[in-house]
Chains A and B, each alone.
Chain A
Amino acid sequence: MHVTIKINGEDVSRDVEPRRLLVHFIRETPGLTGTHWGCDTSNCGACIVHLDGQPVKSCTVLAVMADGHEVRTVEGLAVDGELDPIQTGFHEKHALHCGFCTPGMMMACRALLDEKAAEGRAPTDHEIRTAISGGICRCTGYMNIVAAVRWAAEHEAQIKQEA
């Protein structure tokens, strides 16, 4: 089947079998191996991308189901070479070690920050922990990930205030 998915603002078209998973469709697109393919059972969260603005596990979505829809991956976070605050937060707070879970964690957290920004507030630690409960990190013990999201939230609020 011919499928066209808008990935990070650009249409990507390809013929695929209906059984092709979205995670593989994304990774087979040149330059987009940031989305990681992990457990394959929708448990680990390494493959989280945004589908029409909502975080989903791309190992459990068929590429054909995303035909005509918009996908945002970790490569779509930085704008014009400028890192997204969530990326800077992970860097500042050392929220990764091996980095395998990081793209999925950042996409889940980006969605949380957007949702809470719309409510005009920063997420609580409990909300952060809930938001990343669909991801597994075997390096950090999660403490630094929570700190990174908090850092990003504070940083974004500051930028907004200055603007």
Chain B
Amino acid sequence: MQTPAPCGYERASTVDGAIASLVELGPTARIIAGGHSLIPMMKLRLATPEHLIDINDLDELAYIRRDGDELRIGAMTRHVELLQSELLAEHFPVFADAEEVIADPVVRNRGTIGGSLCQADPSEDLSAVCSAVKASVVIRGLDPAQPPHTTERVITMHEFHVGPYVTAVGAAELLTEIRIPIRPGAGSAHEKVERRAGDYAISAVSAAVWVDGPTFADVGVALAASGPFTIDVVRAAELLRGQVPSEELFEQAGQIASEDSMPMADSRGPIDYKRHLVGVLTKRALRRATARALRQDI
């Protein structure tokens, strides 16, 4: 029987209230959202928070909306809502691609995007998705100039990811929103290979492209389950930027992604197989993202 260690519990009714509780309780307190990463970690005693602050009542953090040239996703938005969002499907179909293969439908009813990102599991898909589409995240915490007021800071995904299971969100801070710039000519796709439904990926790749006339104006490629953290394949993006899309380029980008991946051998496969897979999935994701940007059938 797996049981978490004893802990306290309270429900937050406002974002500022949750932050005030984090400040008051100190670094052994943790936010719990959907709980589908944290509770399993607590059962295994890999996480032993002494106090949980439940933010499931914060409906104000559950939304997907457009605000000017940005898409904004509230941290409490659940996987099922990301999967079904027409707004997201229109601008960034990579989310629906990923959500179809994240866990299973029952888990997707509870898990949230904020929880997934803050877990920062190197095998987690949404971290790669958000890196590829060049999202930024909003983190709210105490305003040092005038406590107990709170203030927010906005950082890139690169700054957000500090290491395996570690993010830039401080002990008394809360991730509240994900922002994605909407730019013309966008196409995006997520490719994942898993052993069975709901399992961690053997490897997964997110790609986003923005075409301007005949060439790529910008590109993002990110890998999940391919190393000790989410890998932003900067070299592949640099290769493609300003170029005319072609199969040869996708092949080269795949080669780079394969080189820049850092997979570990485990029950899901040996290193050479995983590197090969990263290359293939990168090529497929770029091909599909580009076809979507150019509105071609593939």
Enumerate chain A interface residues (CB-CB to B < 8 A): 1, 17-19, 21, 40-43, 45, 48, 54-57, 60-62, 64-65, 108, 130-131, 133-135
Known A18-B9, A60-B40, A65-B54; 13 more pairs at CB < 8 Å: A21-B39, A40-B2, A40-B43, A41-B2, A42-B107, A45-B106, A57-B106, A60-B107, A62-B32, A62-B39, A62-B52, A108-B105, A134-B106
Q: Are A133 and B36 in contact (CB under 8 A)?
A: no
Question: Quick check: is B35 within 8 A (CB to CB) of the other chain?
Answer: yes
Q: Are A65 and B6 in contact (CB under 8 A)?
A: no
User: How many interface residues does chain B have, given as a range?
Assistant: 20 to 34
A/B interface sample: 10 pairs, CB < 8 A: A18-B6, A19-B4, A43-B198, A54-B109, A56-B106, A60-B35, A60-B36, A60-B107, A108-B105, A134-B103
Structural contact, B198 and A133, CB atoms closer than 8 A = yes
Interface Cβ pair total, 8 Å cutoff: 75
Complex Cα distance, B109 from A135, in Å, reads 14
Query: How far is A152 from B42 in the complex, measured between Cα atoms in Å?
Result: 39
Residues of A within 8 A of B241 (CB): none
Which residue from B6, B35, B40, B105 sits with its C-beta under 8 Å from A62?
B35
> Distance (Å) between the CB of B12 and the closest chain A CB?
12
With A41-B40, A55-B106: A62-B198 Cβ-Cβ less than 8 Å: no
Docked complex Cα distance between A106 and B185 (Å): 45
Q: Which of A45, A60, A61, A135 has the most CB of B within 10 A?
A: A60
Return A1 CB to nearest CB of chain B, in Å: 6
